[in-house]
Structure 1
């Protein structure tokens, strides 16, 4: 099976003062037992609502979110998700034709939403699409035009860029309605969204000759810095920083891997420094899974966090890197879009 099942980072929020709200749509084809369509609503990296085509209803993912919405919110947004499922199901078929593909495992996604800096008042929007784990299309908010990194997406960019009303509608949604919903959610979820949980840090190694991974997990909010230290100085060579991943309990995990020879490790003092919300944690003792020195629970815990993510949030891909209808904001809904597809 093609390697299209990477995992959702979520949304673009790495600075504590920048708040984010948005949705991730994931349509899948060819995965037995997995929902064809999943919709996840998020605020500051925390899931607030969820829909999939197996349960066929929108449900809350936090205790506080029900207080921020009206009684019909759940049914209204479930109907939006059902409509989006039909559009995105067609998206996959259109994309397959454009890429000259046959049946198999395929995914089509959209990630969109808004950001608000509570210190400067600056707002921003993001709207990105992906197919089979690769970037397909996104809206450049600076120039207000669609761009695509692949030839197969150019047909859509030309059509949508000629529809100025469509782009203005989206600009209005991301700059006003989405921000209003974000501020409302922040008000009702303040106690939960502003919590702080410090990371647990471990140095993990498969065997004496393999690379060493610094694993920080269980922290909230998502902003964290992982730095390797060598003899008391910052060390940046042969370092690979992993993606931020959500845990099942709403916290986050992240890794940084250092590749050095056993002799170099032995003859120098290496450590991993993790900085989070003003609290620093440093670890220098390696725990391995050879010699039975690493509890199996640590390994299982890391794997379980990823597996649970698939079950609750849908599969995805690394969509943010530095989805045959027009976009129309839906009144009374924080969703903002009931369609979007290659056309």
Structure 2
């Protein structure tokens, strides 16, 4: 059994406005392409900074997009966030954090596009835009008055739909094409079998893979094993690749030849199959005169 990964790409803008927190700028905007920070702006600077050469070229050749981000970073959005925070805090002091995420997600397999536009306030859901009804949905009582006001602006809500499902995917495709070598990078791991002692579980360990979307599991006679299996988390390596392990408790030595470890990376049909073989297991113990001794 192999997994069919749904490969999705995304372009998202994360915007944060704050009040009463002196250690951070009162306005921050971040552009993410496939969750990789690609652009940045805040209230302490006057230009939208691009953080990768392949993205810089796109903005230089697309005045519409460059102008969009400059307006969003230094004109429209900061003022909108200040007004919203002012209305939320009323006459009270204390801190306030208002966040917004907007953008789109593209399914590489089906071509389907999903848009997202929502606000959070002090770490909780606040307002969400429904692309089917083109209506704002209040997720806290204090958002209801804003919901009514925004739902009355039909023209702007229609613009949000065309922006999230039309313009955003076009921009995303440009970034994916320009940054293909970075964004669509695929690296397969080296896979090893490890065991601490003869009675310990056998660990199938994969390291050096990219991206961090992968699955690894044990099979017995071609069927995925669920009992006696302990899957580990995907962890980061120092070289920007990843590692993971999955442990197996083997009941009897004569069954070993029936097991194999399978690794599969997102976005590819290739898979790495490693047969459970005592002769290739790496250990830190050795057997002498019938006794098990652990190496120092």
Same fold (TM over 0.5): yes
Q: What is the Cα deviation at residue 280 of structure 1? A: 7.1
- Please state if 1:96 is matched with 2:89: yes
Q: What is the Cα deviation at residue 107 of structure 1? A: 0.8
Corresponding residue SS for 1:234: coil
Contact 2:26/2:43 (8 A) holds in 1: yes
TM-score (normalised: structure 1): 0.56
Contact 1:138/1:146 (8 A) holds in 2: yes
| Gap regions ≥5 residues in structure 2 | 192-205, 252-261, 275-296
Q: Relative contact order, CA 8 A, sep 6+: which one is greater? A: 1
User: CA separation of 1:274/1:95 partners in 2, compared to 1, >3 Å: closer, same or farther?
Assistant: farther
User: CA separation of 1:40/1:217 partners in 2, compared to 1, >3 Å: closer, same or farther?
Assistant: farther
Mapping 1:257-272, distance limit 5 Å? none
User: CA separation of 1:54/1:248 partners in 2, compared to 1, >3 Å: closer, same or farther?
Assistant: farther
Contact 2:100/2:117 (8 A) holds in 1: yes
* Distance in 2 separating the partners of 1:252 and 1:30: 38
Aligned partner of 1:301 in structure 2 is: none
Corresponding residue SS for 1:57: coil
Aligned partner of 2:287 in structure 1 is: none
Contact 2:6/2:107 (8 A) holds in 1: no
| Gap regions ≥5 residues in structure 1 | 1-14, 202-215, 255-264, 268-272, 283-343
Mapping 1:42-81, distance limit 5 Å? 42-70=32-60, 77-81=69-73
Q: In angstroms, what is the RMSD of aligned CA positions?
A: 4.6
Contact 1:21/1:178 (8 A) holds in 2: yes
Q: What is the Cα deviation at residue 187 of structure 1? A: 1.2
User: CA separation of 1:138/1:219 partners in 2, compared to 1, >3 Å: closer, same or farther?
Assistant: farther
User: CA separation of 1:75/1:157 partners in 2, compared to 1, >3 Å: closer, same or farther?
Assistant: closer
TM-score (normalised: structure 2): 0.64
Higher strand content, 1 or 2: 2
Aligned partner of 2:116 in structure 1 is: 126
Contact 2:138/2:144 (8 A) holds in 1: yes
Q: What is the Cα deviation at residue 74 of structure 1? A: 5.3
Correspondence for 2:74 among 62, 69, 82 = 82
Contact 1:28/1:35 (8 A) holds in 2: yes
Q: What is the Cα deviation at residue 75 of structure 1? A: 6.8
